[in-house]
């Protein structure tokens, strides 16, 4: 009674899982590494899946394209980090680094929260500011503009900062300097939302008409893209200003480190299907009872309440253990892959699945105009 | 591919009433339950190969509930049709959606066969929506039984899908339909789901009292309780529901919930200990069966399994007069990886949609009387335009 249609569909799912095996090279979050960075604040446009184009301000890597979010800065604990920011925007901009201490700012012009890079109309010498700090703690952090943050962060001037722990070994990585923070894959989940009205007003130089009491987001993004664009490859040429995707992949039994950042102004209950995740750190600090204890105060959750400005590190694992049937689709004689749960090997699925005619695939039906609501 | 073309959509629409009325015993209603002979999801002769089998038959469709200000609200939801033959189930389930959806209560170790039959939307014959069940938080979930339509299977009208869960983990979960989740969840396909631990039945003495019921396998009786309640926080946007009922475009971006609820009812309906009277618009079917009143005798320990499942809001629920002890979060005993006890005392909890906590109220030194559980998102102490009501209920200590 199990139709070919369902079998094909399941095979596709297994194929997608199978593709994961070939993706080992994507074990680490994409970004720019080192201790010295050149960022340029500039304007450009991003694309949304509904065909819209939204004017943005963002940080570019050197002379590269404006990108949303800004380049993910990946640095090593203990290093002195220097970031030189140049400004090509009509307003002064800056960068602040929540969670970092002892940040010094030189050059540019004085600002309210930190020194700023002056607007594009200012003398060239004033349009560059340099920030320096020592990355004393490993972890996941946010960086964003410290100039008119209520406007400029919305406009796109934000990014992620990842500090690798002392002694980091890329072939055996840990999130912090403790073996209980080991992982096989890491993924960034930078949650933001966009109110297109604000961007339009800025585009037409009507900054004074921006009304935050009327804030009304209409796009919600992971790493600068809305679904289904999140599923496209990184550096997709159709999305030149949104280089990062969000398509976590792993093998059964692997540990996947989720670095979740609340980059916007709303709270989001961020639910991951499949299994619980162990929250090991918040705001770049291990949840430990005493220094060196490791994440002994970690808790397992199925929903991460992502709070504006907060970062959460969680380790997700899944191997399909004890489902009562062989989720990998093995026949009894098939070999077991590493990390798979052995006791259910070769056991058939315990129910008869419906025939294809009784199953809906909404994404397909939704595209038929007759079904649009 | 499985395309419904315009060509036979019209005959399909015309034929729809006959599908249910003329020929209610649809061959496509298909309940799978080991040991069940007549397809009513009740085990007639236990199957020795499945000694821990448990079965349930839910229908997915539309219906009505009555809000605390008297408004009859159009909803989508599930109804419990366990015990009915496939033909009976198909008729009984029409326009009988419940809010919240029927509670699913399981024991650790169960093999749970959950059949979902999509009976269609009586008031929306233009809709061909599929439904699923997403067991939110199921550990080690299998995509095929996870209910996410883009990664799994969704059942169309007039047909059934049996979900299979080997229930290995105790705790407070929740469930909902995942098809067009923003719409179907706003419309009300939401329910309580919890699993009792294997430790139940084994006596543990904790703080001088012996318990045989526990929230989790705690090993020391510290989650022991005398009485337990499950409450789901939620809220509805009446304009969205009215638009759905009136076959109008749905205001997704403008969604604004103004009917806050505990178990599908606003105060003062929350303190009615029984089912609410049937609304008139669904033909007199009782559709709000789960009370949100908490009652206990003085000295008893109360376990409250609290979840939040709605589309728009984080909610804070506060307790006045009886402290909360949080012993579980997201269906896990609140302990660190090495077993460190992380229980904590508080007077309020804040949950986003899809979060749960297990709360112990110890009434040892509590004077008998009424105590209030209410949201400190104070604008939600209302039933739409009716000023006082909303997300509030009582703990009555006798
Ligand atoms: Cu549904």
Q: Are strands A277-282 and B72-80 parallel, antiparallel or unpaired?
A: unpaired
Task: List Cβ neighbours of A251 (8 Å cut-off, separation of 6 or more).
Answer: A20, A21, A184, A337, A338, A339
Residues 189..228 of A with a Cβ closer than 8 Å to B: which? 216, 218
Residue pLDDT, tens place only, B7-31: 333 333 333 333 343 333 445 899 9
- The answer to whether the CB atoms of B163 and A351 lie below 8 A apart is yes
**Any idea what DSSP says for residue B380?**
G
Q: Distance from B154 to chain A by nearest Cα, in Å?
A: 5
CB B334 within 8 A of CB B328: yes
* Nearest in space to B114 (alpha carbons), one of B166, B47, B169, B173: B166
Q: Which domains does chain A have, with CATH numbers?
A: 2-317 (2.60.40.420), 322-373 (no CATH)
Given A267, A325, A353, which is nearest B153 (Cβ)? A353
Given A6, A303, A365, which is nearest B352 (Cβ)? A303
A41-50, A80-89, B146-155, B307-316: lowest mean pLDDT where?
A: B146-155
Is residue B343 a part of any domain in this protein? Answer: yes
A363-372, B207-216, B234-243: lowest mean pLDDT where?
A: A363-372
Residue B152 has pLDDT above 90, yes or no: no
The whole-angstrom separation of Cα B2 and Cα A357 is 7
Given B140, B156, B355, which is nearest A359 (Cβ)? B156
Residue A225 has pLDDT above 70, yes or no: yes
Cis peptide before B306 (omega within 30 of 0): no
Given B2, B127, B338, which is nearest A361 (Cβ)? B2
> Torsions phi, psi of B201, nearest 5?
100, -20
Chain B interface mutation, best of A230, A296, A360, A362, highest count of B Cβ atoms under 10 Å: A360
* Nearest in space to B131 (alpha carbons), one of B180, B66, B87: B180
Q: How confident is the model at residue A361 (pLDDT cuts 50, 70, 90)?
A: low
Give the mean pLDDT of A198-213. 94
CB B295 within 8 A of CB B229: no
> If you measure CA to CA, which chain B residue comes closest to A316?
B140
Residue with token string 């200012």? A122
* Nearest in space to B59 (alpha carbons), one of B101, B22, B28: B101
Task: List Cβ neighbours of B23 (8 Å cut-off, separation of 6 or more).
Answer: none
- The answer to whether the CB atoms of B128 and A350 lie below 8 A apart is no
Q: Distance from A43 to chain B by nearest Cα, in Å?
A: 27
Burial level of B191, CB count in 10 A (0-12/13-18/19+)?
Answer: buried
Given A299, A358, A371, which is nearest B155 (Cβ)? A358
Q: Distance from B365 to chain A by nearest Cα, in Å?
A: 31
Token pair in block for residue A361: 């695939």
Q: What is the DSSP string of B266-310?
A: -BTGGG--SPPPPPTTTTS---------EEE-TT-EEEEEEEE--
> Torsions phi, psi of B238, nearest 5?
-60, -30
Is residue B38 a part of any domain in this protein? Answer: no
Token pair in block for residue A225: 């893209």
- The answer to whether the CB atoms of A300 and B330 lie below 8 A apart is yes
Q: B224 touching A, CB under 8 A?
A: no
Compute the mean pLDDT over every residue in chain B, rounded to the nearest whole number. 92
Instruction: Provide the CA B378 distance to its chain's centre, in angstroms.
Output: 25
Q: How far is the CA of B133 from the centre of ligand 1 (A)?
A: 8
Give the CATH number of the domain where residue B242 resides. Answer: 2.60.40.420
Is residue B134 a part of any domain in this protein? Answer: yes
- The answer to whether the CB atoms of B139 and A319 lie below 8 A apart is no
Element (H, E) at B204: strand B204-206
Q: Distance from A175 to chain B by nearest Cα, in Å?
A: 17
CB B348 within 8 A of CB B317: yes
Q: How confident is the model at residue B384 (pLDDT cuts 50, 70, 90)?
A: very high
What is the reported pLDDT for B11? 32
Residue A93 has pLDDT above 60, yes or no: yes
Q: How confident is the model at residue A16 (pLDDT cuts 50, 70, 90)?
A: very low
Degrees to nearest 5, angle at CA B135 with B85 and B178: 85
Q: Are strands B348-351 and B53-66 parallel, antiparallel or unpaired?
A: unpaired
A53-57, B122-126, B196-200: lowest mean pLDDT where?
A: B122-126
CB B251 within 8 A of CB B243: yes
> If you measure CA to CA, which chain A residue comes closest to B165?
A323
Domain count, chain B: 1
Given A10, A324, A352, which is nearest B166 (Cβ)? A324
Residue A319 has pLDDT above 60, yes or no: yes
* Nearest in space to B290 (alpha carbons), one of B310, B276, B307: B276
- The answer to whether the CB atoms of B330 and A289 lie below 8 A apart is no
- The answer to whether the CB atoms of B137 and A354 lie below 8 A apart is no
* Nearest in space to A225 (alpha carbons), one of A52, A355, A32: A52
The whole-angstrom separation of Cα A258 and Cα A222 is 12
Q: Which residues pair with B230 in a beta bridge?
A: B305
Residue A1 has pLDDT above 60, yes or no: no
Chain B residues with beta carbon closer than 8 angstroms to that of A359: 2, 130, 153-156
The whole-angstrom separation of Cα A199 and Cα A208 is 12
The whole-angstrom separation of Cα B299 and Cα A274 is 40
Is residue B299 a part of any domain in this protein? Answer: yes
- Residue A241 has a CB neighbour count (10 Å cut-off) of 19
Element (H, E) at B9: helix B6-20
Chain B residues with beta carbon closer than 8 angstroms to that of A269: 314, 351-355
Token pair in block for residue B335: 């302990």
Q: B194 touching A, CB under 8 A?
A: no
CB B303 within 8 A of CB B358: yes
Residues 93..152 of A with a Cβ closer than 8 Å to B: which? none
Q: How confident is the model at residue A236 (pLDDT cuts 50, 70, 90)?
A: very high
CB B76 within 8 A of CB B97: yes
Q: How far is the CA of B188 from the centre of ligand 1 (A)?
A: 9
- The answer to whether the CB atoms of B337 and A180 lie below 8 A apart is yes
CB B206 within 8 A of CB B224: yes
Is residue B67 a part of any domain in this protein? Answer: yes
> Torsions phi, psi of A198, nearest 5?
-60, -40
Q: Are strands A359-360 and B101-107 parallel, antiparallel or unpaired?
A: unpaired
Residue A17 has pLDDT above 80, yes or no: no
> Torsions phi, psi of B322, nearest 5?
-125, 115
Residue B55 has pLDDT above 60, yes or no: yes
> Which of helix, strand or coil describes residue B301?
strand
What is the reported pLDDT for B25? 41
Residue pLDDT, tens place only, B107-133: 999 999 999 999 999 999 999 899 999
Q: Distance from A153 to chain B by nearest Cα, in Å?
A: 22
Alpha helices by DSSP H, chain A: 4-20, 149-155, 196-203, 362-365
Given A269, A278, A359, which is nearest B155 (Cβ)? A359
State the distance between the two ends of chain B, measured CA to CA, in whole angstroms. Answer: 62
**Better-predicted residue by pLDDT, A360 or A55:** A55
Q: A248 touching B, CB under 8 A?
A: no
Q: How far is the CA of B155 from the centre of ligand 1 (A)?
A: 9
- Residue A294 has a CB neighbour count (10 Å cut-off) of 21
What is the reported pLDDT for A86? 98
Residue A371 has pLDDT above 90, yes or no: no
Residue A351 has pLDDT above 50, yes or no: yes
Q: B149 touching A, CB under 8 A?
A: yes
Number of residues assigned to chain A: 373
Residue B255 structural domain = 53-397
Chain A residues with beta carbon closer than 8 angstroms to that of B249: 373
**A136, A139, A147, B78 from A99: Cα distances, Å:** 10, 10, 18, 47
A265-269, A362-366, B109-113, B393-397: lowest mean pLDDT where?
A: A362-366
Q: B9 touching A, CB under 8 A?
A: yes
The whole-angstrom separation of Cα B209 and Cα A9 is 54
The whole-angstrom separation of Cα A67 and Cα B86 is 56
Is residue B27 a part of any domain in this protein? Answer: no
Q: Supply the ipTM of this predicted assembly.
A: 0.91
Buried b vs exposed e over B45-70: b needs ≥16 C-beta within 10 Å?
Answer: eeeeebeebbbbbbbbbbbbbbbbee
CB B355 within 8 A of CB B308: yes
> If you measure CA to CA, which chain A residue comes closest to B144?
A10
Residue B314 has pLDDT above 60, yes or no: yes
Is residue B8 a part of any domain in this protein? Answer: no
**Any idea what DSSP says for residue A332?**
T
**B56, B80, B148 from B104: Cα distances, Å:** 9, 10, 19
- The answer to whether the CB atoms of B179 and A302 lie below 8 A apart is no
What is the reported pLDDT for B10? 32
What is the reported pLDDT for B24? 39
Is residue B6 a part of any domain in this protein? Answer: no
Q: B340 touching A, CB under 8 A?
A: yes
Chain A interface mutation, best of B137, B178, B311, highest count of A Cβ atoms under 10 Å: B137
Residues 31..50 of B with a Cβ closer than 8 Å to A: which? 32
Q: A300 touching B, CB under 8 A?
A: yes
Chain B residues with beta carbon closer than 8 angstroms to that of A353: 144, 153, 161
> If you measure CA to CA, which chain A residue comes closest to B252?
A218
Q: How far is the CA of B149 from the centre of ligand 1 (A)?
A: 10
Chain B residues with beta carbon closer than 8 angstroms to that of A180: 337
Q: How far is the CA of B7 from the centre of ligand 1 (A)?
A: 26
**A83, A139, A221 from A161: Cα distances, Å:** 12, 8, 18
Task: List Cβ neighbours of A328 (8 Å cut-off, separation of 6 or more).
Answer: A14, A252, A320, A337, A340
């Amino acid at each position: 009674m199990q139709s070919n249609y369902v079998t094909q569909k399941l095979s596709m799912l297994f194929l997608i899982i199978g593709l994961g095996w070939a993706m080992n090279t994507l074990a680490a979050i994409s970004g720019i590494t080192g201790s010295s960075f050149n960022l340029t604040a500039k304007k450009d446009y991003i694309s949304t899946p509904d065909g819209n184009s939204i004017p943005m301000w963002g940080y570019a890597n050197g002379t590269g394209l404006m990108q949303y979010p800004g380049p993910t800065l990946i640095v090593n604990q203990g290093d002195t980090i220097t970031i030189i920011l140049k400004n090509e925007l009509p307003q002064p901009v800056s960068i602040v680094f929540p969670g970092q201490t002892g940040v010094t700012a030189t050059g540019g012009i004085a600002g309210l929260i930190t020194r700023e890079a002056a607007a594009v109309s200012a003398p060239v010498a004033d349009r560059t500011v340099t920030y320096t700090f020592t990355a004393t703690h490993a972890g996941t952090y946010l960086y964003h503009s410290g100039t008119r943050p209520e406007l400029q962060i919305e406009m796109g001037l934000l990014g992620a900062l990842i500090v690798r722990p002392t002694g980091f070994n890329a072939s055996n990585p840990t999130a912090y300097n403790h073996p209980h923070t080991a992982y096989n894959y890491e993924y960034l989940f930078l949650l933001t939302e966009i109110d297109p009205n604000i961007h339009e007003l800025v585009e037409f130089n009507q900054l004074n008409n921006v009304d935050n009491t009327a804030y009304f987001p209409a796009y919600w993004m992971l790493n600068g893209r809305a679904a289904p664009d999140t599923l496209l490859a990184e550096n997709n040429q159709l999305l030149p200003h949104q280089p990062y995707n969000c398509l976590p992949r792993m093998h059964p039994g692997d540990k996947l480190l989720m670095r979740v950042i609340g980059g916007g102004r709303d709270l989001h209950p961020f639910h991951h299907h499949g299994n619980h995740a162990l929250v090991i750190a918040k705001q770049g600090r291990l949840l430990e009872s005493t220094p060196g204890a490791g994440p002994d105060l970690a808790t397992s959750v199925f929903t991460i309440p992502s709070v504006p400005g907060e970062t959460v590190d969680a380790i997700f694992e899944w191997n399909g253990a004890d489902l009562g049937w062989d989720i990998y689709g093995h026949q009894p004689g098939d070999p077991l892959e590493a990390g798979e749960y052995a006791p259910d090997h070769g056991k058939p699925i315990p129910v008869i699945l419906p025939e294809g005619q009784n199953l809906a695939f909404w994404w397909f039906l939704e595209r038929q105009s007759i079904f649009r609501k | 591919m499985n395309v419904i073309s315009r060509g036979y959509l019209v005959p399909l629409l015309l034929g729809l009433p006959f599908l249910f009325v003329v020929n209610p015993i649809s061959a496509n209603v298909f309940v799978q339950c080991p040991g069940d002979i007549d397809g009513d999801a009740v085990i007639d002769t236990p199957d020795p190969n499945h000694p821990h089998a448990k079965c349930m038959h839910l229908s997915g469709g539309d219906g009505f509930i009555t809000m605390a200000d008297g408004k009859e609200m159009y909803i989508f939801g599930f109804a419990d049709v366990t015990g009915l033959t496939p033909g009976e189930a198909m008729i009984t389930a029409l326009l009988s959606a419940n809010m919240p959806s029927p509670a699913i209560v399981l024991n650790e170790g169960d093999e749970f066969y959950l059949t979902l039959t999509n009976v269609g939307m009586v008031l929306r014959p233009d809709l061909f929506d599929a439904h699923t069940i997403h067991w939110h938080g199921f550990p080690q979930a299998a995509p095929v039984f996870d209910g996410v339509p883009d990664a799994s299977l969704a059942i169309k009208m007039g047909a059934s899908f049996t979900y299979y869960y080997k229930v290995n983990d105790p705790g407070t979960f929740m469930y909902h339909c995942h098809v067009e989740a923003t719409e179907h969840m706003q419309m009300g396909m939401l329910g309580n789901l919890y699993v009792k631990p294997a430790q139940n039945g084994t006596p543990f003495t904790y703080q001088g009292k012996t318990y045989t019921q526990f929230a989790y396998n705690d090993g020391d009786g510290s989650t022991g309780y005398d009485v337990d309640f499950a409450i789901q926080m939620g809220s509805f946007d009446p304009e969205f529901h009215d638009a759905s009922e009136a076959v109008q475009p749905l205001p997704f971006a403008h969604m604004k919930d103004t009917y806050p609820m505990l178990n599908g009812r606003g105060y003062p309906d929350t303190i009615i200990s029984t089912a609410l009277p049937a609304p008139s618009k669904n033909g007199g079917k009782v559709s709000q069966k789960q009370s949100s009143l908490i009652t206990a005798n003085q000295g008893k320990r109360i376990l409250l399994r609290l979840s939040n499942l709605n589309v728009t809001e984080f909610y804070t629920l506060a307790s006045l007069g009886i402290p909360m002890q949080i012993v579980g979060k997201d269906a896990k005993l609140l302990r660190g990886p090495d077993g460190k006890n992380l229980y904590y005392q508080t007077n309020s909890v804040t949950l986003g949609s899809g979060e749960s906590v297990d709360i112990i109220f110890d009434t040892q030194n509590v004077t008998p009387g009424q105590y209030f559980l209410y949201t400190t998102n104070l604008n939600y102490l209302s039933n739409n335009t009716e000023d006082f009501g909303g997300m509030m209920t009582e703990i009555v200590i006798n």
